[in-house]
Amino acid sequence: MSCVVNSKGLRYRYDSGFEALRGVDFRLHRGENVAVLGPNGSGKTTFLLHLNGILRGEGELKVCDLPVDEKHLTTIRRHVGFLFQDPEDQLFLPTILEDVAFGPAQAGLSKAEAEARAAEVLAQVGVVDGWERAPYHLSGGEKQRVALAGILAVRPEVLMLDEPTTHLDPPGRRKLIDLLKTLPQAKLVVTHDTAFARALCERAVFFDAGRIVADAPVTEVVERYGWGL
């Protein structure tokens, strides 16, 4: 099976001097859904931010078989759909429809095609109307859905989702699970929501102090670390 993410001995130190990643070894294969679990501050988000080159550490890192470096960054960012922990970080246009249509338009679709694509993915994430509203004024869960629609609109090869359920209500969580299950892309999902992790993923890794200390079926990892609610 070909690798979508291949990390060997990845290390990263913030400017403050704090070493947030201390040698991360990890592989994600095509079509796999993997949950990233672990305590607050253990390096999960820091690791994810390396996978589309927002942060650049030391060690080996390949995404979609390309090394994450200056030369490949644009291509890698096109392949990787990245949902930030805070949806505020990725909504920036005056209306929902424009925001979601932005990616496809950048990728070369006409305005009408981009808006049709946006309409399709907005319906998929359960935002069925009010597309003229400003993303800025939406509730947390609505922002999270719109941000996800913006990612799906560009049909990426792999999805990196940082805490995608934090703002969602229970029916919203169930719908997200159903939706993600229908998507063929490999997914790496950082979450504290173990029910969500169990429902979506077969495999989980557990971060502790900047390292992956377990890589096993979700149920096994959750039990080993007492990570269920």
Ligand X SMILES: Nc1ncnc2c1ncn2[C@@H]1O[C@H](COP(=O)(O)OP(=O)(O)OP(=O)(O)O)[C@@H](O)[C@H]1O
What residue ranges bind Mg ion (CB under 5 A)?
44-45
Residue 94 interacts, among Mg ion, ligand X, none and using kind-specific CB cut-offs from 5 to 8 Å, with none
Residue 185 interacts, among Mg ion, ligand X, none and using kind-specific CB cut-offs from 5 to 8 Å, with none
Looking at 46, 52, 165, 191, which residue binds ligand X (CB under 6 A)?
46
Q: Scanning residues 81 to 140, which ones bind ligand X (CB under 6 A)?
A: none
Residue 40 interacts, among Mg ion, ligand X, none and using kind-specific CB cut-offs from 5 to 8 Å, with ligand X
Q: Answer yes or no whether residue 212 interacts with ligand X by CB under 6 A.
A: no
Binding region for ligand X (CB under 6 A) out of 38-46, 74-82, 89-97, 113-121: 38-46
Query: At closest approach, how far in Å is the CB of 94 from ligand X?
Result: 29
Query: At closest approach, how far in Å is the CB of 17 from ligand X?
Result: 8
Binding region for ligand X (CB under 6 A) out of 15-23, 61-69, 113-121, 144-152: 15-23
Residue 173's identity, in one-letter code, is: R
Q: What is the DSSP string of the chain?
A: --EEEEEEEEEEE-TTS-EEEEEEEEEEETT-EEEEE--TTSSHHHHHHHTTTSS--EEEEEETTEE-SGGGHHHHHHHEEEE-SSGGGG--SSSHHHHHHHHHHHTT--HHHHHHHHHHHHHHTT--S-TTS-GGGS-HHHHHHHHHHHHHTT--SEEEEESTTTT--HHHHHHHHHHHHH--SEEEEE-S-HHHHHHH-SEEEEEETTEEEEEEEHHHHHHHTT---
Q: Which is nearer to ligand X, 68 or 101 (CB)?
A: 68
Q: Answer yes or no whether residue 191 interacts with ligand X by CB under 6 A.
A: no
Residue 56 CA to its chain's centroid (Å): 17
Residue 16 interacts, among Mg ion, ligand X, none and using kind-specific CB cut-offs from 5 to 8 Å, with ligand X
| Contacting positions for ligand X (CB under 6 A) | 14, 16, 18, 20, 38, 40-46, 207
